[in-house]
Structure 1
Amino acid sequence: MRTDTDADADVDDPTNARAEVATMTTDVTEITVIGDDDTGLVARVTSLLFERGINIEDLDQAVRDDVFRMYLAVDTSEMVCTEETLREDLHELGEDLGLDVQVRFPADRETQQIAVLGTKESHCLEALFESWANDELGADIGVVIGNHDDLQPLAEHYGVPFHDIGDEKGQQNEERLLEVLAEYDADLIVLARYMRILSPNVVFRYEDRIINVHPSLLPAFPGAEAYRQAVEEGVRVAGVTAHYVTTDLDQGPIITQRAFDVPDDADVDEMKRRGQPLEADALLEAVKLHLNGDVSVHRGRTTVRENGTGYQLGLPAEIDEVTPDRPVDGIGSVVADDH
């Protein structure tokens, strides 16, 4: 277990957050602590767990914009209290320290709940709904949340509650967002072309449980107007990326990518026409990888587990048939034959 001293090196550098913490399997209990930064917070929480016979398998903490976040993966198999008592004790400690403490036991994750966030574009949400309707997700889409009401008819068509958390200009109300996510007990948040940036107050609560799709081959062209950036730079190949969300914009661990050729005369509308179906495809594949527990995060990169087969992470396998495999760096075959 890491101590406060061990964490000092990365507590103010959220790019290192959970650098050594892989995505947890379903046999551990996950505890997330969020609140204003203060001294002694780690000691108070870990002492409570120790007193109840709970072993800490992983601990990571970070601070961003004065928001403190601590994540713990713990083994509760031999704890000397009930699950309900532990929830109550952590809740009381949180109230005493002014912290929000969330506990997820293994049984809490058996039927996963998805919250989808969107703005106006419908293609990614439509792909998620179609897969869900065909029983391909293995999870429930419990709620759709928007900062405009454009996607409400699509959500209602599938019988899913819709909540508009935006004002007349589309600015999000994050306090309301957190209330809705808690109300529907969201296990995974999917940003289906949600055109707002989530603050650390949200990201820290759902770390490695928020998946976004971005219209570029990250790390190229992060931020807004990615297709326009690609056109202006004259790229020959463009693409899309599904990734986990971190507190650094468009820099989270990459899960899946898709690519397409860019014609000489392509404009932004043509880029969208080619890219949007791939956005939906890459996002859906990333969501399935996460829900099936087939992807893990380690040191800012994702790895597909050994049992995670049959996924398309990047280009289709057929591309290998037309991709040259030689020459590669080294002594050329002609020179080698001469010797």
Structure 2
Amino acid sequence: MSARELTEITVVGDDDTGLIARITTLLFEHGVNIEDLDQAVRDDLFRMTMRVDATEMDASEHHLRRELAALGDDLGVDVRVRFPADRDARQVAVLVTKESHCLEKLLAAQTEGELDAEIGVVIGNHDDLQPVAERHGVPFHDVGDESGNHDERRLLSLLDDYDVDLVVLARFMRILSPKVVFRYEGRIINVHPSLLPAFPGAKAYRQAKEAGVRVAGVTAHYVTTDLDQGPIITQRAFDVPDGASVETMRERGQPLEAEALLEAVELHLNDDVVVRRGRTELRDPDREYQLGLPDAVDGATPDYPVDGEREATSDD
């Protein structure tokens, strides 16, 4: 049974003894078979993601949801259930701040029918990009204060209201807490303006300039609780001219940010990428994705000399 045919159950809340046993027991009693279980604890916050086969369960979907919600209330945790039918029309939430290039690229791709999902909502910590979202007929919500600090409780409420399957950080200039990251583990994609793992954190273009790099780039990756260290999905690179300013680097990088982010979103939505041991792998290596540098670069890349190989001579 494929991942898209399994029911997903996510549990997030305070860590407590016996929590896993009580939830798995309830599932067993209803004939639900657990196919995959992943759990983690960070700063006393517990997260468990299960993929289960519920095709032979002895209860209705509504009844199982209600029982799990009641058990969650009793345990003091949040339990979410997503049956396969809930993912027929997948919903994407795009989180933004003030830079429009990534949002514009994603919305254009939706208009052109390139996304196997619907961008159901744009959420910002400023209202600068509200006109962009509204021009494309997408609801916009501002969850930030005057300083741009986002209200995480309201953010989570909106993600729940729109039944979001994938969260895309399109230059969202705030760090999400483990409460958000754990709830959407493996379903948050960010774009960062550097070739990670180099230059994580803020002002990446400036970091690259100060380091004197000759080649810079951008990275789209899954978000984890470790800042800018999640599994890398796609990357793009560009030359840095001698004496280039930070603004010049930004102008060269922003179109690539949008391109890398869109490709990463398409990979995820097409179920063409999987995370194994902290790294992403293609399910089908024959699918046409750029992932990194364009193929034309291979022709300009020398392949000799290599240690252990003897240079051919006229006598050979």
Which category describes the TM-score, using the shorter chain as reference length?
A: over 0.9
Q: 1:188 aligns to what?
A: 166
Q: 1:323 aligns to what?
A: 301
Q: 1:159 aligns to what?
A: 137
- Pick the aligned partner of 2:284 from 296, 299, 306: 306
Secondary structure of 2:4's match?
Answer: coil
Q: 1:80 aligns to what?
A: 58
Give per-residue Cα distances to partners, 1:121-158, cap 9 Å, x unaligned. 00000000101111111211100000000010101111
Q: 2:18 aligns to what?
A: 40
Q: 2:86 aligns to what?
A: 108
| Stretches of 4+ aligned residues off by more than 6 angstroms | none
CA distance in 2, matches of 1:131, 1:106: 25
Q: 2:115 aligns to what?
A: 137
Aligned residues between the structures: 315
Q: 1:126 aligns to what?
A: 104
Secondary structure of 2:191's match?
Answer: strand
Q: 1:232 aligns to what?
A: 210
Secondary structure of 2:3's match?
Answer: coil
Give per-residue Cα distances to partners, 1:215-261, cap 9 Å, x unaligned. 00000000000000000000010000000000000000000000000
CA distance in 1, matches of 2:274, 2:246: 34
CA distance in 1, matches of 2:79, 2:253: 40
CA distance in 1, matches of 2:116, 2:23: 34
After TM superposition, list the pairs within 5 Å mapping 1:245-256 onto structure 2: 245-256=223-234
- Displacement after TM superposition at 1:114 (Å): 0.5
- Residues 123, 280 of structure 1: 8 Å contact kept: yes
CA distance in 2, matches of 1:189, 1:333: 52
CA distance in 1, matches of 2:232, 2:286: 16
Q: 2:4 aligns to what?
A: 26
Q: 1:3 aligns to what?
A: none
Q: 1:147 aligns to what?
A: 125
TM-score normalized with structure 1 length: 0.91
Secondary structure of 1:26's match?
Answer: helix
CA distance in 2, matches of 1:307, 1:112: 24
Gaps spanning 5+ residues in structure 2: where? Answer: none
Matched, 1:286 2:264: yes
Percent identical: 70
CA distance in 1, matches of 2:206, 2:143: 28
User: Which has the larger displacement, 222-231 or 79-88?
Assistant: 79-88
CA distance in 2, matches of 1:128, 1:69: 30
Secondary structure of 2:67's match?
Answer: helix
CA distance in 2, matches of 1:135, 1:308: 22
- Displacement after TM superposition at 1:333 (Å): 3.0
CA distance in 1, matches of 2:152, 2:259: 28
Q: 1:17 aligns to what?
A: none
Q: 1:296 aligns to what?
A: 274
User: Which has the larger displacement, 54-63 or 143-152?
Assistant: 54-63
CA distance in 2, matches of 1:197, 1:327: 45
CA distance in 2, matches of 1:258, 1:28: 34
TM-score normalized with structure 2 length: 0.97
